[in-house]
């Protein structure tokens, strides 16, 4: 007789199940986080990106505490498997987000993967990265006919106002 | 009787023994002094010696008069990490402060020895008193509980009391101390001497300022099997002498269940420092009103 429904009910569970178990989940997230810190923009499945987002922001919060803080160094040492990224975290990423208190990452959806699984993909990046923006700003063409006419109209109005005054 | 026997042997021996007995604290001092005076007056031909009253006992009041001056917030005030409205917690805190103004709930930790008197319709005198070690403090808000453990007549007894129950009349801390763990459930599998508390124990005085004393006692266990596998790292118990009951191979085997990534998992962290300070100032303000 099953007396507990613990396995079936997930009230208040925040962590998704990924991989082979809790250890595998943490290892996978560690690898993705290391890749994110190295390249500052990565594309993965939507679920993994969503999980890593939380850990990425918390890691930056720890990095802000400083190089000398023991706990921060332990966390950075654990989460970044490639150890040449630890100085990058403390010296590049932490000063970049000095004035912000949250929201260091941006996530955007991508078209589904072309493989058989058609998995939902997403792009995850740290704000302030050197790449061109994910949502490119469309610049209107100044030399089109309508824009030129509008420009002339605005100049005439400005001249009329200046003559009246 | 011993005085009479001594006097029957000789006069000076009688006076010597009287002097010695006068220095020793005896129960029936009044009886002794009158008999001394009688015998001394009867036997000696000199004037009767001046009556020296026995020294009065010095009464030291060891009960806790002054409230604790430590900055202590009871753990049931801190709300758990949930998606509920904070209004619920603030309303609960108001009710908790109202109850605390009527009944003084002192500061105590797991490992301190408490005495609780509760209203009981079936007991003679309508109250019953239980003394024991606090092994666990659980629950949040008004449903906060603590479990007292004691061994009476060879039978282990644990009673779980509600802190804010209207049946509770007094809670006294007989001995304030902390132990190496927050949860002393392993005392069920420990030797009974570690859970026995004298029912007529007198309160041990403790200072209202300064650090709470930590009792670094390591408890000896009964032979296995235990109710829970206390050697496993998930319980993280510091207060058991494992070297007496487990071989090093078994300790290493228990480490197989260790989850070293858990201490680095940021999702599981719940930082309560700012919340604690807020709630502490709020509660202190309400209590002083």
Taking the C-alpha atoms of residue A154 and residue A149, their distance in angstroms, rounded to an integer, is: 9
Angle of helix B2-9 relative to helix B11-23, nearest 10 degrees, comes to 150
Taking the C-alpha atoms of residue A58 and residue A56, their distance in angstroms, rounded to an integer, is: 6
Q: Which of A6-10, A62-66, A140-144 has the lowest mean pLDDT?
A: A6-10
The H or E element containing residue B38 is helix B29-43
Q: Mean of the pLDDT values across residues B149-172?
A: 95
Specify the pLDDT at position B13.
62
Q: Which residues pair with B156 in a beta bridge?
A: B151
B175 pLDDT higher than 60:
yes
Q: Which residues pair with B115 in a beta bridge?
A: B131, B172
For CA atoms A124, A128, A133, A138, the dihedral sign is positive
The H or E element containing residue B178 is strand B178-179
Q: Mean of the pLDDT values across residues B21-47?
A: 54
Residues with Cβ < 8 Å from B231, sequence gap 6 or more?
B237, B240, B242, B246, B250, B251, B254
Q: What percent of chain B has pLDDT over 90?
A: 69
Q: What is the dihedral of CA B125, B128, B131, B135, to 10 degrees?
A: -170
The answer to whether A26 contacts B267, with C-beta atoms less than 8 Å apart, is: no
Of B167 and B3, more confident: B167
Taking the C-alpha atoms of residue B48 and residue B41, their distance in angstroms, rounded to an integer, is: 5
Q: How many CB atoms sit inside 10 A of residue B161's CB?
A: 20
B159 pLDDT higher than 90:
yes
Q: What is the pLDDT confidence band of residue B51, given thresholds at 50, 70 and 90?
A: confident
The answer to whether B266 contacts A58, with C-beta atoms less than 8 Å apart, is: yes
Specify the pLDDT at position A16.
92
Q: Residues of A with CB below 8 A from B265's CB?
A: 26
Q: What is the pLDDT confidence band of residue A36, given thresholds at 50, 70 and 90?
A: very high
Q: Mean of the pLDDT values across residues B21-49?
A: 56
Q: Residues of B with CB below 8 A from A26's CB?
A: 261, 264-265
pLDDT digits (tens, 9 = 90+) for A66-94: 999 999 999 999 999 999 999 999 999 99
Nearest by CB to residue B264, choosing from A15, A22, A75, is A75
Specify the pLDDT at position B63.
58
Model's pTM, two decimal places? 0.76
Chain A residues within 8 Å of chain B (Cβ atoms): 12, 14-15, 22-23, 26, 54-55, 58-59, 62, 74-75, 78-79
B207 pLDDT higher than 90:
no
pLDDT digits (tens, 9 = 90+) for A131-154: 999 999 899 999 999 999 999 999
pLDDT digits (tens, 9 = 90+) for B91-100: 999 999 999 9
For CA atoms A6, A10, A13, A19, the dihedral sign is positive
């Amino acid at each position: 007789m099953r007396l507990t429904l613990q396995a079936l009910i997930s009230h208040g569970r925040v962590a998704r199940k990924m991989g082979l178990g809790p250890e595998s989940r943490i290892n996978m997230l560690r690898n993705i986080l290391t890749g994110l810190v190295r390249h500052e923009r990565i594309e993965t499945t939507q679920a993994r990106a969503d999980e890593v987002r939380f850990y990425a922001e918390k890691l930056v919060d720890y990095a802000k505490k400083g190089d000398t803080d023991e706990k921060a160094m332990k966390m950075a040492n654990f989460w970044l498997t490639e150890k040449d990224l630890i100085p990058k975290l403390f010296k590049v990423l932490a000063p970049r987000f000095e004035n912000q208190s949250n929201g260091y990452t941006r996530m955007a959806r991508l078209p589904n993967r072309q493989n058989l699984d058609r998995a939902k993909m997403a792009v995850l990046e740290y704000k302030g990265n050197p790449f061109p923006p994910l949502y490119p700003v469309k610049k209107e063409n100044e030399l089109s006919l309508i824009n030129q006419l509008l420009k002339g109209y605005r100049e005439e109005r400005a001249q009329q106002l200046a003559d009246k005054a | 009787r011993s005085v009479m026997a001594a006097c029957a042997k000789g006069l000076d021996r009688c006076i010597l023994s009287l002097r010695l007995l006068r220095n020793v604290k005896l129960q029936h001092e009044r009886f002794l002094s009158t008999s001394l005076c009688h015998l001394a007056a009867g036997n000696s031909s000199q004037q009767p010696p001046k009556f020296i009253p026995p020294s009065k006992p010095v009464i030291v009041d060891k009960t806790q008069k002054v409230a604790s001056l430590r900055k202590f917030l009871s753990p049931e005030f801190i709300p758990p990490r949930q998606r509920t409205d904070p209004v619920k917690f603030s309303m609960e805190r108001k009710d908790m402060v109202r109850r605390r103004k009527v009944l003084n709930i002192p500061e105590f930790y797991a490992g301190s020895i408490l005495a609780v008197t509760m209203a009981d319709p079936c007991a003679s005198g309508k109250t019953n008193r239980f003394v024991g070690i606090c092994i666990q403090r659980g629950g949040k808000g008004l449903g906060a509980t603590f479990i007292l453990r004691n061994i009476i007549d060879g039978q282990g007894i644990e009673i779980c009391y509600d802190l804010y129950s209207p049946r509770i009349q007094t809670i006294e801390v007989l001995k304030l101390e902390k132990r190496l763990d927050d949860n002393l459930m392993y005392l069920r599998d420990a030797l009974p001497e570690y859970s026995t508390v004298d029912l007529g124990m007198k309160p041990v005085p403790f200072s209202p300022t300064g650090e709470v004393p930590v009792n670094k006692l390591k408890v000896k266990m009964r032979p296995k099997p235990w109710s829970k596998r206390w050697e496993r790292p998930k319980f993280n118990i510091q207060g058991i002498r494992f070297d007496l009951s487990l071989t090093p191979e078994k300790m290493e085997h228990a480490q197989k269940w260790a989850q070293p990534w858990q201490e680095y998992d940021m999702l599981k962290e719940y930082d309560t420092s700012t919340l604690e300070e807020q709630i502490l100032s709020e509660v202190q303000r309400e209590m002083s009103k």
